[in-house]
Amino acid sequence: MIELRPYQKKIVHDGTQIISRYGFLYLAMEVRTGKTLTSLSICTKINAINVLFITKKKAISSIEEDMDKLKGPFKLHVINYESLHKVTHEGIYDVIVLDEAHCLGAFPKENKRCKQVQRLINIHNSRVILLSGTPTPESYSQMYHQVCGISSNPFSFCKNFYQFAKNYVNVKYRIINGFRINDWSDGSPAILEKMKPYTIAYTQKEAGFKVQTNEEILYVDICPEVTQMIKTLTKDKILKGTGDVVLADTPVKLMIKTHQMSSGTVKFESGNSMILCYKKARYIRKKFEGKKIAIFYKFKEELNALKEEFGDLLCETLETFNSTPRSIALQIVSGREGISLRKAEALVYYNIDFSATSYWQSRDRMTTKDRLYNKIYWIFSKTGIEQQIYKAVVKKKDYTLNHFRKDLVTLANDRAEDTSQVN
């Protein structure tokens, strides 16, 4: 049986008291501080019989490994959020653990997985443990739907999000394409105050982590023909190819297509996609030759470009990555949570996601308590919008259309200057 660290034992003691009193507990423990083991140990302390652990698909194996180490006396069923519809109701889960609970925090309307979780809690009348290193990564408003299915939550007097918003959200209004749209993102800090009695927060610093994370941006010249394609698309809002087109008839589509193409790939209106330029993939292979790295990509064709460049030196599964000298490529959204990349010498980002959650969750995948140094590399194209997205997400703000509109003018000017210098 594994021995918990002293701080984990303290959290288990305090967490047991909280869940015994209120019926639920929020463990806001930073990445790599041992949320899984701590939550399973609490299940042991409260004499759980059947525990349902809901997580991301890539994290299932590591959670089962932690259970083997702990040798908990209860029956554990681990399942991913996408498979919740498969949960039977033949037995009663007296405890439900919600890993990466912030993924339930969509607003103003709850997402599908949130509805499914609420249904399970109600059917089983379960005690609930929520886990997240970033409970409200982009807005305090994200808290409501994480806990609203729990009868003892501090916002239970609110029948829905809109009633919650009247009390805890500074609702703003935006005009988009002539329509007035409500902006619900400005949640009050009072939301976290209300959650304090139910929450245990613990940081890497408190746990004694001494890791220093160094981020470096490296720039690549994208293929000239791709730069010209981007200019044409920006001007004409359409790009015609052989038998297919790229359409950017809305500002949002222009932002997404520009972002994708600046890294060397494109998706057509037909749904087909292709690689336009291999320069980023080739640069990564040459720059990190002989090193065991983890690469985060955003778009499907970026993975295909990496496969062609790396060949047998690249894998896509943690099992292979951990047992061979190969590097690994992971889609940033699916790979940002619930996995450990501790064997990587560095993290390399082929592209950047618009989400602040993706940034903060993925960059800590290498971190362990004993690691002293993390090296992160961002591979940006010189004429792309990656730099602007990066500036937004490091401030815990999603790169939104508003950012893009402001940046578009700057990008257009930069490209004009580049052209004049060439001429």
Within this chain, domains 6-202 and 212-422 share the same CATH topology:
yes
Res. 400: pLDDT tops 50: no
For residue range 121-150, list pLDDT tens digits in order.
Answer: 999 999 999 999 888 888 899 999 999 999
Average pLDDT rounded to a whole number, residues 95-117: 95
- Res. 392 pLDDT band, cuts 50 70 90: confident
Nearest-10 crossing angle of helices 251-261, 224-236: 180
- Res. 104 pLDDT band, cuts 50 70 90: very high
Element (H, E) at 158: none
Nearest to 128 by CA among 44, 26, 59: 26
Average pLDDT rounded to a whole number, residues 49-66: 91
Res. 174: pLDDT tops 60: yes
* More confident position, 404 or 84: 84
Asked whether the beta carbons of 94 and 127 are under 8 A apart, the reply is yes
- Res. 398 pLDDT band, cuts 50 70 90: low
- Res. 418 pLDDT band, cuts 50 70 90: very low
Name the CATH architecture for the domain at 6-202: 3-Layer(aba) Sandwich (3.40)
Nearest to 142 by CA among 166, 165, 119: 165
Q: What is the pLDDT of residue 250?
A: 87
Q: How many CA atoms lie within 13 A of 82 on its CB side?
A: 6
Structure tokens of 139? 């807005």
Q: Position of tokens 């220093």? A: 212
Average pLDDT rounded to a whole number, residues 156-181: 89
Q: What is the pLDDT of residue 97?
A: 98
- Res. 197 pLDDT band, cuts 50 70 90: very high
- Res. 10 pLDDT band, cuts 50 70 90: very high
Nearest to 368 by CA among 116, 94, 34: 34
Nearest to 219 by CA among 388, 382, 386: 382
Nearest to 293 by CA among 238, 245, 349: 349
Res. 402: pLDDT tops 50: no
Q: State yes or no: cis peptide before 251, omega within 30 of 0.
A: no
Q: What is the pLDDT of residue 280?
A: 96
For residue range 285-297, list pLDDT tens digits in order.
Answer: 999 999 999 999 9
Element (H, E) at 390: helix 386-393
Bridge partners, residue 375, by sequence: 214
Average pLDDT rounded to a whole number, residues 180-194: 90
Residue type for position 245: V
- Res. 181 pLDDT band, cuts 50 70 90: confident
Domain layout of the chain by residue ranges:
6-202, 212-422
Res. 169: pLDDT tops 80: yes
- For the domain made up of 212-422, give the CATH fold: Rossmann fold (3.40.50)
- Res. 210 pLDDT band, cuts 50 70 90: confident
Strands (E), 268-357: 273-275, 293-297, 314-315, 327-331, 346-349
**Would you call 244 exposed, middle or buried from its count of C-beta atoms within 10 A (0-12, 13-18, 19+)?**
middle
Report, in angstroms and rounded to the nearest whole number, the Rg of the chain calculated over CA atoms: 23
Q: What is the pLDDT of residue 242?
A: 73
- Res. 213 pLDDT band, cuts 50 70 90: confident
Average pLDDT rounded to a whole number, residues 307-325: 94
Q: Poorest-confidence range of 248-252, 389-393, 403-407? A: 403-407
Q: Poorest-confidence range of 268-282, 295-309, 325-339? A: 325-339
